[in-house]
Structure formats: structure tokens, C-alpha cells
Amino acid sequence: MQMTTDARAWLDATVRRILARHPLGDAERAGITYELMSHLHAAGEARSTAAGRSQVTREDLEAALAEAGGDDGLATAFIQPLAKPVERVLFGRRLGAFAIDVLLLGIVLTFVHSMLVFLLEPLMGGMGSASHHVDFWWVMPWGYHDPALPFALQAVITGDR
Amino acid sequence: MKGTHVAEGVNLWTQQIRKGSTRLAVLQLVSERERYGYEIISAIRDRTNGALEVAEGNVYPALHALEAEGYITSTWREVEPGVPPRKYYRITARGREHRSMLVREWKEFAGAIARLLQGE
């Protein structure tokens, strides 16, 4: 059954208004637009037929929307089923993700450290690259260390910081 | 005040029964012939004389879930030029099997409750 011009304009505006309140992808938006329009038109058509009219009017569509619980009612019916449920992630997978994060962080910090040493070394009086670990200890987030010292002493110095 | 709480409790219980039976009602209707969403809502209301008046918020999520589980399929169909197309739902072979199981469970459950209430 055809709609009046007023009913068609109201239907377009109403569906746009309902969808504007929900973040959706293009494909989902297109699908739900069809579903909302189809439902409201079918419900309006039933009212129009019962009233003995030959066209769906804006009042038919407004009554259909009200019966469906308004904007929120229709959003619950059509949009919520698309929401993905929150999944429980097991400890093993979380641990794996943490290990990957640590690895990536290590790579990034090593790169940043190397870049800082490379860039700052000429500014520090042309010191040899062999001594940068002594002179640039302040750029090392894990603290001072001097590989020339005995390992135990390095550990004590690191522990003091 | 106490009566209000009792009525609210009954309403909640009724809502849960309706929600639980929506899946079976939808499967039954689309097993008879293909139907679109609003037609399913109307048929449930008419065939149960309004006793099982389900809302859009129950029927459409049930349709989405049944389709995702492979129990029904859908097809968009243009019914008339210039009006929105309609999405028709049809039951699958797997859906028929699922429906038979639900019917069996429902009858067993309803029978058990009826026997229980006879003791009153």
C-alpha cells in the first residue's frame, strides 16, 4: 500500500533520527534502515487497512512507532541484536597478549635508546661510542651500569637507585 | 502496597514466559509459510487471542538469533513499487528439527506443570 507524501517524509526523518543515536557501520546502517522502514510501513499499513483507507498516512506510522515503544523500543528491537556480546578471555590468551606487549615495548625502547645515543653523542664532545653507556646513563630508564665493573657491584649500584 | 508488589511479580513472570516462548512461536509460524516480521507479530497476537502479545523487542532479536544459528533464512522482496521492501523469513531443515525438539520439550513441560497444579 502506498504512503502519502507526508507519511513518506516522516518515515525517512524518523528512521534517520533513530539511527543517528547509534554508532553503526555503513553496511549495518543500510540493513537496519530497510528493516525499520519495512516494519513501520507494514505496521502502518495494517492500521490503514483496518480503518478502510487506501494509503498509509503519517498518523498510521506514528501510531505504529508508539506501539513499538517509540524510538527506544525500535532501537532495542533492531539495533541491539547487532551488538556483539562481551567475550570472556582466558588467562593464557591474556598472558600471551602481555608477552607480545612486553616484547614490542622492549623493541621500541631499544630503538629509542639507540637513536638518543646516536643523536646526542656528537653534542657530548665526540666521546667514543664505547663510553656512551657511562656518559649517557641518564637516558637509560633502567639506570646506570658500567660493564667494566664486576657484575655483583653493578647489581648493588642498580639496587641503590 | 503489598498487592502492587504481587502484581509486579506476576507481570515479570509473565514477561519471562512470553520471552521464553517467542522462539518457539516464531519457528512455528515460519514453518507454516514464509512471513515478514510484522506479520509474525500480528499472527502471534491473533492466534493466541492476545494472550501472547509479544513486542517488537522480543520478536526481531529472536529472528536475528534464529537466522544466525541457521534455523531460518531471509529474503528481501519488493512487494510494491515505491514502498519499503519486506524481509521474508523461511524455516530451514535444521530449523524444522529444532522446532520439533522445542515442541516436544514444551509439551513435556506444560504437561508436568498441569499435573503439578492438579494437586491443588
Q: What is the pLDDT of residue B32?
A: 96
Phi, psi (rounded to 5 degrees) for A127 = -65, 150
Distance, in angstroms, between A19 CA and closest chain B CA? Answer: 16
A116 and A74 both lie in a single domain: no
Q: What is the pLDDT of residue A26?
A: 84
Contact list in A for residue B85 (CB cut-off 8 A) is: 34, 38
Residue B42 C-alpha cell reads as: 500480528
A78 and A10 both lie in a single domain: yes
Question: Are the C-beta atoms of residues B41 and B59 closer than 8 Å to each other?
Answer: yes
Q: Could you list the residue range(s) of the whole structural domain that residue A124 is in?
A: 107-160
A114 occurs within a structural domain: yes
A12 and A78 both lie in a single domain: yes
User: Do the chains contact at A38 and B85, CB–CB below 8 Å?
Assistant: yes
| Average pLDDT score over residue span A106-110 | 93
Distance, in angstroms, between A2 CA and closest chain B CA? Answer: 6
Q: What is the pLDDT of residue A134?
A: 52
Q: What is the pLDDT of residue B47?
A: 92
Task: Indicate if the pLDDT at residue A41 is higher than 60.
Answer: yes
Task: Indicate if the pLDDT at residue A42 is higher than 80.
Answer: yes
Q: What is the pLDDT of residue B31?
A: 97
Question: Are the C-beta atoms of residues A109 and A117 closer than 8 Å to each other?
Answer: no
Nearest to A35 among B57, B83, B87 (CB): B87
Q: What is the pLDDT of residue A24?
A: 82
Q: Nearest-CA residue of chain A relative to B62? A: A81
Phi, psi (rounded to 5 degrees) for A80 = -60, -35
A88 occurs within a structural domain: no
A11 and A46 both lie in a single domain: yes
Task: Indicate if the pLDDT at residue A132 is higher than 80.
Answer: no
User: Do the chains contact at B61 and A1, CB–CB below 8 Å?
Assistant: no
| Average pLDDT score over residue span A115-133 | 69
Q: What is the pLDDT of residue B7?
A: 79
Question: Are the C-beta atoms of residues B23 and B71 closer than 8 Å to each other?
Answer: no
User: Do the chains contact at A38 and B87, CB–CB below 8 Å?
Assistant: yes
Question: Are the C-beta atoms of residues A69 and B53 closer than 8 Å to each other?
Answer: no
The structure's pTM equals 0.68
What is the Cα–Cα distance from A106 to A94, expressed in whole angstroms? 18
What is the Cα–Cα distance from A104 to A98, expressed in whole angstroms? 10
Q: Nearest-CA residue of chain A relative to B85? A: A38
Q: Nearest-CA residue of chain A relative to B56? A: A77
Q: What's the number of domains chain A is made of?
A: 2
Distance, in angstroms, between A43 CA and closest chain B CA? Answer: 6
CATH number of B2-117: 1.10.10.10
| Average pLDDT score over residue span A16-33 | 86
Judged by DSSP in three states, B36 sits in strand
Percent of chain A with pLDDT over 70: 75
A66 and A9 both lie in a single domain: yes
A95 occurs within a structural domain: no
Which region among A42-51, A85-94, B22-31, B101-110 has the lowest average model confidence (pLDDT)?
Answer: A85-94
B25, burial (CB in 10 Å: exposed 0-12, middle 13-18, buried 19+): buried
What is the Cα–Cα distance from A32 to A28, expressed in whole angstroms? 6
Question: Are the C-beta atoms of residues A36 and A15 closer than 8 Å to each other?
Answer: yes
A148 occurs within a structural domain: yes
Q: What is the pLDDT of residue A63?
A: 94
Nearest to B62 by CA among B76, B49, B74: B74
- What ipTM is given for this predicted complex? 0.82
Q: What is the pLDDT of residue B92?
A: 97
Judged by DSSP in three states, B104 sits in helix
User: Do the chains contact at A42 and B39, CB–CB below 8 Å?
Assistant: yes
A71 and A116 both lie in a single domain: no
Contact list in A for residue B82 (CB cut-off 8 A) is: 2
For the stretch B38-93, pLDDT in tens is: 999 999 999 988 888 788 888 999 999 999 999 999 999 998 898 999 999 999 99
Q: What is the pLDDT of residue B59?
A: 92
Q: Nearest-CA residue of chain B relative to A40? A: B38
**Most confidently predicted of A102-111, A112-121, B8-17:** A102-111
